[in-house]
Amino acid sequence: MNNLEMRVCGDPILRTECTPVEKIDAELLHTLDTMVEMMRAQSGVGLAAPQVGITKRFLVMMTPDDEKVFKMINPKIISRSEKTCIMEEGCLSVLGGDNLPVYANVSRPESVVVEWTDENGQQLSAEMSGVPARIVQHETDHLNGVLFIDYLSGARREMVMRKVRRHKK
Ligand code: NI
């Protein structure tokens, strides 16, 4: 799977419920590495499998402060704080007419507990808050066919969708 191609809004793959990874093999490890490269090349902080055309449950993400990279296989958010916060989000799959990500404010839980399997097959869990919590929620949503624009409504959604419609595939 060497030719991973970025998928953008309108591609049905982005709306697909992804299936669990059953085994960690060389192909998966290679794909994860390639996704980290793609994420960095596009100055992103997260990239989920369906964004590169694979309907399996895995993602890569980076915590912006320390640039720590996480490769998460079958990630699952097991708890969410009641407290929410608003942050600006963008997505490498949601582009405007200028071919750059479109941004919008989204409200989500401020902190979450996430469980995942890492690339060595180890079961891990972490409580994340602030920006990392935001990233992991956005990326795990991708595995369920959900995009951040789904949280927008009314005039804000219309404004964002107008920009997205200007994007030429
Ligand atoms: Ni995204």
- Residue-wise pLDDT tens digits, 143-154: 999 999 999 999
- What pLDDT shows up at residue 112? 98
Position 130 pLDDT exceeds 80:
yes
Taking residues 54-66, report their average pLDDT: 95
Mean pLDDT of the chain: 95
Tokens coding 130: 């602030």
CA of 93 to the centre of ligand 1 (A): 6
For residue 169, give both structure tokens.
């595939």
- Report the separation in Å between the CA atom of 26 and the middle of ligand 1, taken as the mean of its atom positions: 25
Question: So what's the pLDDT on residue 129?
Answer: 97
22 counts as catalytic? no
Beta pairing class for 68-80 and 46-48? unpaired
Beta carbons within 8 Å of 150's beta carbon, 6+ residues apart: none
User: How many A from CA of 135 to the centre of ligand 1?
Assistant: 9
Ligand 1 centroid – CA 97 distance (Å): 17
Q: What does the pLDDT average to over 100-120?
A: 97
All domains in the chain, ordered by first residue: 12-168 (3.90.45.10)
Catalytic residue among 67, 110, 139, 158: 139
- CA-nearest of 11, 13, 60, 65 to 40 is 60
**Is 74:117 a contact under the CB 8 Å cutoff?**
yes
> What residue type is assigned to position 40 of the chain?
R
Indicate if the pLDDT at residue 32 is higher than 80.
yes
